[in-house]
Amino acid sequence: MLRTDFLHLSDCFNAQKSTVRVPDIDPKYKIAVLASKQDHCLFDLLHRWQEGRLPVDIHCVISNHDRPVDNHVMRFLKRHEIPYHYLPTTSGNKREQEILELIEGTDFVVLARYMQVMSESFLKSYGKDIINIHHGLLPSFKGGSPSRQAFNAGVKLIGATSHFVTPELDAGPIIEQMVERVSHRDTLHSFVVKSENLEKQCLAEAIKSYCELRVLPYEVMKTVVF
């Protein structure tokens, strides 16, 4: 009976094999984290890694923003001997070849508020999954300053979306979404604080689900999360 049920599932989702991970036995995923100026998602991931709440090993952190040596992120990375690579970007040079060399051998990549669009050639060259966090409920409020866009629009719910990266901006299959209610009583500052908290939680939950093999892509642009 069980075999019949699994065969039915494999037919439904065109699955050729299944994999079961045992967290306490299987090796951790080797990841690279890319981030820009904002630290909240990056620092949250570092703390979760330190506490053993995510089954990953952080191979390196790459940023297009230079951080001072006494920055809290830099002190954390130095204490735990995690390499930090500063690669300033321009509109004509996204440093993609150098990034590819640094992330070689990783199992997947996390964009923790990395504010650069990855080219199609970069995605093809890497060939593995890249998980992004978007500060908004996709497909609304794409592009720059989404919190201000949403605040000015007077929305009543704010959210965060974690998704796979595809060549189209902020349009990859969605892994996780979270929401919180806001009102006219919120200032732009409280609005942003609530939004950043959602981003941290949403990204961490998406990574956890992905590492636990609970994210099943299907129909090109959708996912099932068990």
- Do the strands 108-111 and 29-35 form a parallel or antiparallel pair, or are they unpaired? parallel
Listed residue (20, 59, 25) closest to 212, CA to CA: 20
Domains plus CATH for the chain?
A: 25-128 (3.40.50.170), 133-225 (3.40.50.170)
Structure confidence at residue 208 as a pLDDT band (50, 70, 90): very high
Cα 155 to Cα 170: distance, rounded to the nearest angstrom:
20
Which residue among the candidates 44, 70, 170, 186 is catalytic per the annotation? 170
Listed residue (187, 198, 131, 188) closest to 158, CA to CA: 198
pTM: 0.85
Q: Give the pair of three-digit tokens for residue 145.
A: 């300053």
Cα 180 to Cα 156: distance, rounded to the nearest angstrom:
9
Q: Give the pair of three-digit tokens for residue 188.
A: 């732009």
Q: Which pLDDT value is given to residue 21?
A: 67
Cα 111 to Cα 63: distance, rounded to the nearest angstrom:
10
Question: Is residue 191 within 8 Å of 158, Cβ to Cβ?
Answer: yes
Average pLDDT of the residues of the chain: 89
Question: Is residue 62 within 8 Å of 99, Cβ to Cβ?
Answer: yes
- How far, CA to CA in Å, does 184 sit from each of 140, 151, 157, 191? 20, 9, 11, 10
pLDDT tens-place string over residues 89-104: 999 999 999 999 999 9
- How far, CA to CA in Å, does 100 sit from each of 34, 41, 105, 121, 192? 12, 22, 10, 11, 32
Q: Does residue 170 have an active-site annotation?
A: yes
- How far, CA to CA in Å, does 108 sit from each of 28, 65, 104, 182, 214? 12, 22, 10, 34, 15
Structure-model confidence comparison of residues 114 and 6, the more confident one: 114
DSSP code at position 93: B
pLDDT tens-place string over residues 139-183: 566 666 777 777 787 878 888 999 999 998 888 999 999 999 988
Q: What is the rounded average pLDDT of the residues 55-65?
A: 97
